[in-house]
Amino acid sequence: MQTINDFDDYEILGMSNGYKYERWGNIYLKRPDPEIIWPGDVQSLRVDAEYTRSNTGGGDWKIKRNIPSSWKVNYKDLVFNLKLMGFKHTGLFPEQAYNWDLIRKKIKDSKKKVKVLNLFAYTGAASIAALKEGAEVVHVDSSRGMIDWAKENVKANGLEDAPIRFLVDDVRKFVKREIRRGNKYDVIIMDPPSFGRGAKNEVWQIEKDLYELVEDTASLLSDEPLLFIINSYTTGLSMTVIENILKKTIKYKGNICSTELGIKANDGLILPCGITARWEK
């Protein structure tokens, strides 16, 4: 397992009975997490806002102290705008700092101008990491709201003039069009959801659709590719399964590996936070 150790603006203060108590900059949140099935001593921990699930599905935020509608946190020299989203999220997954560092190193060590394709690109953390090292980025997500948020993050990092294209599109349809257009990329990143809907209500199911998408996307790799990353938070989809997909679809010589991502809480326990697998040169 890979854990982050240097995200100064983020920490898990405590974990207890299905909830994690977090600090995001100077904002303190209590959010549900199904992996936390043990009790903990959290009575004295500060909570500015708490996400409470409804018995009928979904949930909402209970604001306990006045907090801004959005606020900024930093990871090293990266800046991110956070907001309280309708389904418990903040717009950032801090465990992905492991991949941000990896992406930056690959681009920095390369001797050429690097083209990056970020699929299911969300609020743009990986895109910003790539832009910081001078890469050219194509950023694709089916949600207009997430694209607008990613643009805010790019601006917060002073990268308004950096070479990035934002596309609101269904990822599978976009990839097939890129194949026909003959476009190629040196780094490809994808963070597919378990279930989702595209820009025109196209249904995505990871168990049914992932292999074909990876197979198609692998054909977009350049003649000298650097990196292909797949992240997953889908319960039951193992690292070995994703490694197998990469082995069957990427024809270049390189190394394929995977790891669980986690965050070490202040009590020393580690909270698992999904898996990541990659092919790399």
Q: Read off the CATH number of the domain in which 11 is found.
A: 2.60.40.1180
Do 101 and 226 fall within a single domain?
yes
Do 121 and 251 fall within a single domain?
yes
Whether residue 210 is contained in a domain is answered as yes
Of 26, 51, 82, which residue is a domain's last?
A: 82
| Predicted confidence band of residue 236 (pLDDT cuts 50, 70, 90) | confident
Average pLDDT over residues 88-92: 96
pLDDT of residue 202: 80
3-class SS string, the chain: CEEECCCCCEEEEEEECCEEEEEECCEEEEEECCCCCCCCCCCCCCCCEEEEECCCCCEEEEECCCCCCCEEEEECCEEEEECCCCCCCCCCCHHHHHHHHHHHHHHHHCCCCCEEEEECCCCCHHHHHHHHCCCEEEEEECCHHHHHHHHHHHHHCCCCCCCEEEEECCHHHHHHHHHHHCCCECEEEECCCCEEECCCCCEEEHHHHHHHHHHHHHCCECCCCCEEEEEECCCCCCHHHHHHHHHHHCCCCCEEEEEEEEEECCCCCEEEEEEEEEEEC
Whether residue 87 is contained in a domain is answered as no
Name the residue range of residue 11's domain.
2-82
Do 53 and 105 fall within a single domain?
no
Of 51, 82, 113, which residue is a domain's last?
A: 82
pLDDT over threshold 70, residue 36: yes
pLDDT over threshold 80, residue 139: yes
| Predicted confidence band of residue 199 (pLDDT cuts 50, 70, 90) | low
- Total of domains in the chain: 2
| Predicted confidence band of residue 161 (pLDDT cuts 50, 70, 90) | very high
Average pLDDT over residues 139-151: 97
Do 63 and 143 fall within a single domain?
no
Do 68 and 134 fall within a single domain?
no
pLDDT over threshold 90, residue 56: no
